[in-house]
Amino acid sequence: MEKGRLEAFTDGVMAVVITIMVLELKPPHEATWPALLGNWTVFVRYVLSFVYVGIYWNNHHHLMHLVERVNGKVMWANLHVLFWISLFPFTTAWLNEAHGAQGEFPASLPTLIYGVVLLMTALAWIPLAQSLIRCNGGHAGALARALGGGWKEKISPVVYLAAIALAFFAPIVSCVLYAAVAIIWIVPDRRIERHVMPNP
């Protein structure tokens, strides 16, 4: 199967996810700077989720550069990733709106669920990459060589698990850890670029 429709569908889903998230941003009721700045935490969490969607879109774009064909397993693995990404608007909205039993903000449970969705998205990426490798030359192919030796994929789930555990006691620290993982992923993965456009 050709990869074009899979790429187009993935691009469309991610665009819809971003659209839903931005529609959740409510304008202030007053035309004043204090009213605008009073929503700064909501905007920060939107930016964090936007960055995460952007990271997955960017990495998917790079990943598909070395892909020549897809099969049914790849399509289902890709849908698995998109399922978790499609939950970003829900978890972001809940994180922005819910307070804890004692009035604390951010609340523990929404912070925990936000982390679970991030963790599951990261874990879902693994079978997608593996199914693409098997469909495109196996472990001797260019895609397998390009994806070898990545450290971000190993450290991210560990940080997510730590943040999920901390959500019960210090949800603000969990949010900082989620942001830290996003920061290390903002720079696109250059391994595939080196195979697509090797240095002279």
Q: What is the pLDDT of residues 53-104, one digit of tens each?
A: 999 999 898 888 888 889 999 999 999 999 999 999 999 999 988 765 555 5
Number of domains composing the chain:
1
R_g over Cα of the chain: 19
Task: State the Cα–Cα distance between residues 118 and 115, nearest whole angstrom.
Answer: 5
Q: If we measure between CA atoms, which residue out of 119, 105, 111, 99 comes closest to residue 166?
A: 111
Domain span holding position 66: 4-196
> What pLDDT was estimated at residue 101?
54
